[in-house]
Structure 1
Amino acid sequence: MTKLSVIIITFNEERNIGRCLQSVKEIADEIIVVDSFSTDETQNICEQFGAKFISEKWRGYSAQKNFANSLASNNWILSIDADEAISEELKNSIKKWKSQGTPQFARFNRLTNYCGQWIKHCGWYPDTKLRIFHKNQAQWSGEVHEKLKFNEPQQIAFLKGDLLHFSYYSIDEHVAQTNKFSSLAAQQLFISGRHIPFIKALLNPPTIFLRKYIINGGFLDGYYGYVICRLAALQTFLKYFKAWQMQKERKKENKS
């Protein structure tokens, strides 16, 4: 039986973390929560579930997750966010995975709940995620929508069942996150040194909207599908506009 460490990073997740921990307690041989000094009830809830709770200053998404992975006492890790939960079908699939003699990296689909509605289109489903991996053979990379990088090619199993993602409880939350993520993405784009023409801020957003709303069927998700696609376009606009502004300011500094 393969032992599995469940790794979670948190900050003020009292409304989500209990649901997350409840969903993984049957499959976890160890639960490690690395928290960025929450001021709510996150720690108390985690301790009620018997999780190892470590407070650590924020390092960035990938660095924080890699630090948390280093604390695992088992080689195999299930990385899950506090606002996610394992469905019953996926839980059963992971139990079968644990019983295999030769475990593999594993991925599965993620289904997102947006303001109380499950989103099946907009490019949000199936949102396949690779979340089970060997801690010595992969590391997180990137600051916006971080991804796993492998030390060498891996065989990857697909597990049945959905990872349930409880994303935004209100549109206000989504708007705030759109601004935050666009700033992080703009900073990365600026640091890359690539030329950022202003035309990208004008042309890319409508392309994003049409792809998500028409091609990916966002219109089938009703009102919230429209909101999701519009905010995706807005985030694209803000990313390029903010990066263009940074580039413009750098040119001014170089001239002075």
Structure 2
Amino acid sequence: MSSTTAHNERPRISACIIAFNEAGRIGDCLASLAFCDEVVLVDSCSTDATVALAEAAGARVLQRAFDGFRSQKDFCVQQATHDWVLCLDADERVGDELLAAIEQARDGGFAGHHGYRFARLSEYFGRFLRHGNAYPDRVLRLFDRRHGGWRGNREIHEAASVDGHVGTLRGDLIHYPYRSLQQQLAKTEKYARMMAEHEFARGKRATLAKLVLAPAWRFWRGYLLRGGFRDGWHGLVYAYVRANYVRQKTIMLWMLQQGQPVADPPQA
């Protein structure tokens, strides 16, 4: 589906979200998107109240079995009514300053741009991380789908891209990525496995030097060189966990090279 906007009209925006069992967070996400002309949510068979809450908030909800983050987001974008799309995860909200910047750009017809990136500010167990590898973490999430989208074949750590000029907006996309440390550790382990499998399939290989040096470099780059220490103990824990992600990914890639499994076989 597509809609056309006359040259002198204010562009319309479709908000695009993917979700699975996000009843505790979807309400705040949708509330921050009230300025959009429609909200499309692709749900991958949630078993909680995600769908009911989204529909009650006015979102158009579609069901699709999950086969990858990039594929799910690309499908959602293709279901939008309008060509300008704003893509969020259920754990993200549009901050007030970012909202004002988006509206100002829209008042100007998004002239001269095919997409916009902006900083993402992550909350980490009671504190927003403003340094290190965590910030500004700029992401391209507002774009004209006629000139780009969720491309490529990497389903993990997916990123949108556009052909043409990309602007940068002030303000932050507020991010609440983790419910608990246990959830973060489980999530990073899953992502490490998916990235190791992706890199192995593309011919990338680990070395003994990378096994030792890559996690250490990730920690010191974020914690010291980029000032992660300025976020107190939150910055220290975050830097350690992110370094552990690199360690897990590299070990899993090494194991795949040795012909060893990195996950339990599916149950019969």
Is the pair's TM-score, using the shorter chain for normalization, greater than 0.5? yes
Deviations 1:120-177 (A, max 9, x none): 1122111111111111211213222211233x3x112222211100111321111111
Code of the aligned partner of 1:143: E
Partner secondary structure for residue 249 of structure 1: coil
For 1:89, give the aligned amino acid.
E
List gaps (5 residues or longer) in structure 2. Answer: 1-9, 261-268
1:57 aligns with 2:69: no
2:176 is paired with a residue of what secondary structure? strand
User: In structure 1, how many angstroms separate the alpha carbons of the residues matched to 2:85 and 2:110?
Assistant: 15
Aligned mates of 1:56, 1:2 — CA distance in 2: 28
Q: Distance in 2 between matches of 1:212 and 1:101?
A: 38
- The residue number in structure 2 matching 1:165 is 175
Which moves more between the two structures, 43-52 or 141-150?
141-150
Tell me if the contact between 2:199 and 2:205 (Cα under 8 Å) persists in the aligned partners.
no
Amino acid across the alignment from 1:146:
E
Please give the alpha-carbon distance, in whole angstroms, between the structure 2 residues aligned to 1:57 and 1:111. 30
Matches within 5 A, 1:73-92: 73-92=81-100
SS at match of 2:72: helix
The letter of the residue matching 1:144 is: I
**8 Å CA contact retained: 2:219, 2:239:** yes
- Asked whether 1:2 is paired with 2:7, we answer no
* Gap runs ≥5 in structure 1: 251-256
Distance 2:30 2:44 in 1: 18
Alignment of 1:104-123 (within 5 A): 104=113, 105-123=115-133
Aligned 8 A contact 2:223 2:236 in 1: yes
**Could you tell me how far apart the structure 2 residues matched to 1:242 and 1:169 are?**
25
Alignment of 1:131-210 (within 5 A): 131-140=141-150, 141=152, 142-150=154-162, 152=163, 154-210=164-220
Match of 1:11 among 15, 20, 28: 20
Shift of 1:183: 0.4
Structure-2 residue corresponding to 1:32 = 40
Task: Give distance in 2, aligned partners of 1:204 and 1:17.
Answer: 36
Q: Is the 8 A contact 2:121 2:136 kept in 1?
A: yes
TM-score when normalising by structure 1: 0.93
Q: What's the CA shift for 1:194?
A: 2.6
Instruction: Give the match's secondary structure for 1:24.
Output: coil
| Secondary structure of residue in 1 paired with 2:259 | helix
Please tell me whether the aligned partners of residues 122 and 175 of structure 2 are also in contact (alpha carbons under 8 angstroms).
Answer: yes
Q: Distance in 2 between matches of 1:74 and 1:29?
A: 9
The corresponding residue for 1:254 is none
Please state how far the C-alpha of 1:228 moved relative to its aligned partner: 0.8
Paired with 2:98 and 2:41, the residues of 1 have a C-alpha distance of 21
One-letter amino acid of the counterpart of residue 164, structure 1: I
How many Å apart are 1:188 and its aligned residue?
1.0
For residue 68 of structure 1, what is the aligned residue in structure 2?
76
- Please provide the CA RMSD for this pair: 1.3
Mapped contact 2:97–2:172 kept (Cα < 8 A): yes
Counterpart of 2:239? Answer: 229
TM-score by length of 2: 0.89
- Structure 1 residue corresponding to 2:253, chosen from 230, 239, 243: 243
Deviation, 1:102, is 4.5
